[in-house]
Amino acid sequence: MTLSPSPTISARTAGVRGSAIRDLLTLTARPDVISLAGGLPAADLLPRERIAAAAARALTDPAAVQYGETAGLARLREVVAAHETERGTGGARGPVLPGDVVVTSGSQQALDLLARAVLDPGDAVVVEDPGYVGALQVFQAAGAVVVPVGLDADGMRVDELADLLAGGLRPRLVHTVSSFHNPRGVTLAAERRRALAELADRHGFLVVEDDPYGLLAFDGATPAPVAAHGERVVRLGSASKVLAPALRVGWLVGPGEVTAAVELLRQGADLCGSTLTQSIAADLLGDRDWFAGHLATLRREGAARAAAFTTAVAELLPDAVGSDPTGGMFCWLEFPEGTDTTAALPRALDAGVGFVPGSAFAVGTPLPAAARCCFASHPPEVLHEAVRRLATALAVPSGRGRST
């Protein structure tokens, strides 16, 4: 979507880039298209019956339909604090307390409120390249100057960040999707997490540790959170990928000054979240045995789907180099040099498959030959068919040389 410059719309809004992905979701919603485009949890694995039971239980209490506290339902803040403590978020500082948690409408709102709380126009913000589009939108809307840092198989190139800092860069925020990166699929290595937290302490910036996928490790293990290693880390979590997106429950854990500012801004942003969906989230996250079993299912199924997808890619798209997912939802494909995945997308949709071209995530480095594919949304047999269709649309035309 592009907005024509207009006297009605503010100068800043006119500079905000719409999400190509959300526009794409409309296209890929066609029933004949297998969509690998969205970051949607698998419909067949969403715990709908358990949510219905929790809703029915919550609605026996009149408080479930009334306004709630801006910082979030007390019971949910308790459950999230316990959950983050268990994940190691508190580090040597001790347990995460309910007062350290602000519940938000998905972790996207946490990101937006955080940006509004700490950024002034012109502030520098470091992002990963390629990066999470929702974060880029937020930082653009806040008028920040976005500085890209690369990624490799161990996540953000913290050494590259250190060089930029040594060169005089003074960012206000450094954003990282620390586990099972969107879109690259990689996980920030343990030693880099420690180094990143130390750089934050030394140079006075805040790390935004955006972690919606961390619980989806196929083997159940991810390194301790960046937040375990220092105080200048704001950790964002979400129920969207482990329970259901429609709950619109995310959270922010951070220094008191930050949580207070975020809570204050949420008053004006939307007063409070839904007491009903927060009650449901507290019920499901707080039911330890059920949640452990549910996570085990998501991990087992995620691993099976990732394996089906990468096997099909190896078989049917031998020219492409795919990432090797160990958790999360995404596989990153790199096609031979000269491939233009943006140009190929209409052909792919005609062939009945959707993906997100790499260029949608590009910050500083163009990524014309890459694509993000979500393997989580479909069962193995559907993924195989999706890759077959991809191969049709992205077949190297005769006469075009290969780069390898």
- Residues 18-57 touching a second copy, rule: CB under 8 A, are 18-19, 22, 25-26, 38, 40-41, 43-44, 46, 48, 51-52, 55-56
Please say which residue, 51 or 313, places its beta carbon nearer to a second copy: 51
**Cα-only R_g, the chain:** 21
- Cα 154 to Cα 184, 187, 188, 370, distances in angstroms: 11, 6, 5, 19
Please say which residue, 261 or 394, places its beta carbon nearer to a second copy: 261
In the complex, minimum distance from the CB of residue 16 to a second copy, in angstroms, rounded to a whole number: 6
Cα gap 248→261, rounded to integer Å: 21
- Among residue numbers 98 through 117, which ones bind a second copy (CB under 8 A)? 104-106, 108-109, 112, 116-117
- Cα 370 to Cα 246, 355, 362, distances in angstroms: 30, 10, 10
Of 171, 165, 166, 168, nearest to 146 by C-alpha is: 171
- Residue 381, both tokens: 């047999």
In the complex, minimum distance from the CB of residue 130 to a second copy, in angstroms, rounded to a whole number: 18
Please say which residue, 112 or 211, places its beta carbon nearer to a second copy: 112
Residue 119 touches a second copy, criterion: CB under 8 A: yes
Cα gap 164→68, rounded to integer Å: 44
C-beta separation of 204 from 240 below 8 A: no
DSSP annotation of 174: E
Burial of residue 120, with CB atoms counted within 10 A of its CB: 0-12 exposed, 13-18 middle, 19 or more buried? exposed
Residue 220 touches a second copy, criterion: CB under 8 A: no
Binding mask 195-214 for a second copy (x = CB under 8 A): ---------x-x--------
- Among residue numbers 141 through 180, which ones bind a second copy (CB under 8 A)? 141
Please say which residue, 188 or 298, places its beta carbon nearer to a second copy: 298
In the complex, minimum distance from the CB of residue 192 to a second copy, in angstroms, rounded to a whole number: 24
Residue 260 touches a second copy, criterion: CB under 8 A: yes
Please say which residue, 202 or 402, places its beta carbon nearer to a second copy: 202
Judged by DSSP in three states, 127 sits in strand
Burial of residue 277, with CB atoms counted within 10 A of its CB: 0-12 exposed, 13-18 middle, 19 or more buried? buried
Contacting residue, 261, 369, 370, 376, with a second copy by CB under 8 A: 261
Please say which residue, 13 or 403, places its beta carbon nearer to a second copy: 13
Residue 270 touches a second copy, criterion: CB under 8 A: yes
Q: What torsion do the CA atoms of 354, 358, 360, 361 make, to the nearest 10 degrees?
A: 130
Contacting residue, 81, 247, 253, 390, with a second copy by CB under 8 A: 247
In the complex, minimum distance from the CB of residue 60 to a second copy, in angstroms, rounded to a whole number: 8
Please say which residue, 276 or 313, places its beta carbon nearer to a second copy: 276
Please say which residue, 111 or 215, places its beta carbon nearer to a second copy: 111
In the complex, minimum distance from the CB of residue 39 to a second copy, in angstroms, rounded to a whole number: 8
- Among residue numbers 353 through 392, which ones bind a second copy (CB under 8 A)? none
Of 42, 157, 131, 194, nearest to 361 by C-alpha is: 131
